């Protein structure tokens, strides 16, 4: 999916106004509404500073002949769950359905009904906008209605069975919303809800949690373990379990170490994410017969021949570079970064651009370990911690702090 140039159109601005009001929970018509909105924006991201009068002009509470600035549109787009104004307009223009039509239940949420919601989901099951609507309405629902909506919207026939399956950003965002909800529940409540939700395997696959202290994800893994039966599934499941064990303990138990060393993986037999994690685990476990550089070169040679990996290869580079930094093999990390940059030049798709933000952090770390401080700072300045995907925050935050110490920032 290629990105398009940033553009500002009246229809897109109107759509953003509607979406902001959805997130806010009602119409924005007064100064008090604006002040409350500013508080919500800052709580969500302290770096997003926006003035009272800017928002009054945006919502047409005071007259203005000027188009909103890109900075204003980016802040409000981030408030609505998008990474930028460019992403908001890209998603909102993918379908021809009326954007306002998808917003009616949230705007009139006092008239919520399951029949109404079910009709909307059935009628617009293939619409990207539907899933943003579901995410925006979700927090206002009762616990029973949340479970109802989750079961109605997660269809094992149309939903991905593996992590790297092509998935629209809106659907991904919706499943992440479900994941956030589950991670925030008290343990007793979580276990009760898990027994009522169908198709949990999809949530486990798309909400991979690198926060080792989050016990809810461990409970989710335990609850769904029987759903992972094929070699593909088992590799995915074990790669998450074992990587979480490493993040929590910084050492290996003999049984896990033995299991990692006995796991043989081949790139064309696995999805790239579990494959990448298992390859990283081989590095972290100091596999006795594993030569990191030559094996990585073989992997990259395979990716070079198979162009379908053009976007997803960046995930492999992140996992490998992170593992090499953990074991202080910075020269090898720098080498694969250079190989990656030679292999993939020019425009990259949306998902690759999201992952590449995290790559800036680990590229910076590799160069900092190699005492190339200027190059490390160059990559570091391109890293935006506010764009880190859900469920990686703790892992990324700790790695970020390590890098800042190396850079003395």
pLDDT tens digits, residue range 169-223? 778 888 888 999 999 999 999 999 999 998 899 899 888 999 988 999 999 999 9
pLDDT of residue 290: 67
Tell which wins on pLDDT, 245 or 7. 245
CA–CA separation, 367 and 364 (whole Å): 5
pLDDT (0 to 100) of residue 41: 92
Instruction: Count, in order, helices (H) and strands (E) of the chain.
Output: 22, 0
Predicted TM-score (pTM) of the model is: 0.72
The span from the CA of 267 to the CA of 202, in Å, is 22
Q: Exposure of 149 by Cβ count < 10 A (0-12 exposed, 13-18 middle, 19+ buried)?
A: buried
Is a pLDDT exceeding 50 seen at residue 224?
yes
Asked if 283 and 324 count as a contact pair (C-beta separation under 8 A), the reply is: yes
Please give the Cα distance from 14 to 170 (Å, whole number): 19
Work out the average pLDDT over 158-168. 49
């Amino acid at each position: 999916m290629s990105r398009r140039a940033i553009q500002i159109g009246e229809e897109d601005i109107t759509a953003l106004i509607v979406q902001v009001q959805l997130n806010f929970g009602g119409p924005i018509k007064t100064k008090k509404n604006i002040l409350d909105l500013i508080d919500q924006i800052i709580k969500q991201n302290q770096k997003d500073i926006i003035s009272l009068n800017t928002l009054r002009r945006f919502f047409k509470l005071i007259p203005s002949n000027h188009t909103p600035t890109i900075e204003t549109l980016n802040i409000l787009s981030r408030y609505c769950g998008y990474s930028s104004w460019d992403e908001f307009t890209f998603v909102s223009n993918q379908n021809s359905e009326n954007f306002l039509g998808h917003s009616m239940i949230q705007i009139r949420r006092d008239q919520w009904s399951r029949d109404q919601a079910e009709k909307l989901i059935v009628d617009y099951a293939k619409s990207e906008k539907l899933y943003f609507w579901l995410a925006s309405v979700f927090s206002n629902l009762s616990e029973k209605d949340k479970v109802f909506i989750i079961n109605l919207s997660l269809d094992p026939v149309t939903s991905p069975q593996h992590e790297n399956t092509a998935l629209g950003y809106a659907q991904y965002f919706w499943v992440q919303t479900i994941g956030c909800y589950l991670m925030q529940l008290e343990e007793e409540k979580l276990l009760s809800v898990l027994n009522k939700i169908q198709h949990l395997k999809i949530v486990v696959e798309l909400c991979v949690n690198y926060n080792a202290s989050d016990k809810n994800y461990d409970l989710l893994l335990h609850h769904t373990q029987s759903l992972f039966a094929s070699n593909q599934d088992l590799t995915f499941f074990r790669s998450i379990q074992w990587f979480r064990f490493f993040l929590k303990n910084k050492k290996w138990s003999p049984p896990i170490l033995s299991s990692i060393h006995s796991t043989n993986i081949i790139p064309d037999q696995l999805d790239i994410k579990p494959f990448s994690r298992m390859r990283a685990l081989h590095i972290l476990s100091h596999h006795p017969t594993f030569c990191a550089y030559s094996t990585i070169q073989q992997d990259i040679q395979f990716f070079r021949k198979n162009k379908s990996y053009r976007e997803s290869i960046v995930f492999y580079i992140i996992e490998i570079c992170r593992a090499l930094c953990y074991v202080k093999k910075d020269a090898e990390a720098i080498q694969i970064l250079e190989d990656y940059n030679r292999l993939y030049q020019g425009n990259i798709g949306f998902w690759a651009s999201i992952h590449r933000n995290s790559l800036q952090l680990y590229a910076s770390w590799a160069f900092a370990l190699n005492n190339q401080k200027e190059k490390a700072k160059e990559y570091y300045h391109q890293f935006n911690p506010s764009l880190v995907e859900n469920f990686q925050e703790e892992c990324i935050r700790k790695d970020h702090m390590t890098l800042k110490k190396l850079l003395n920032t």
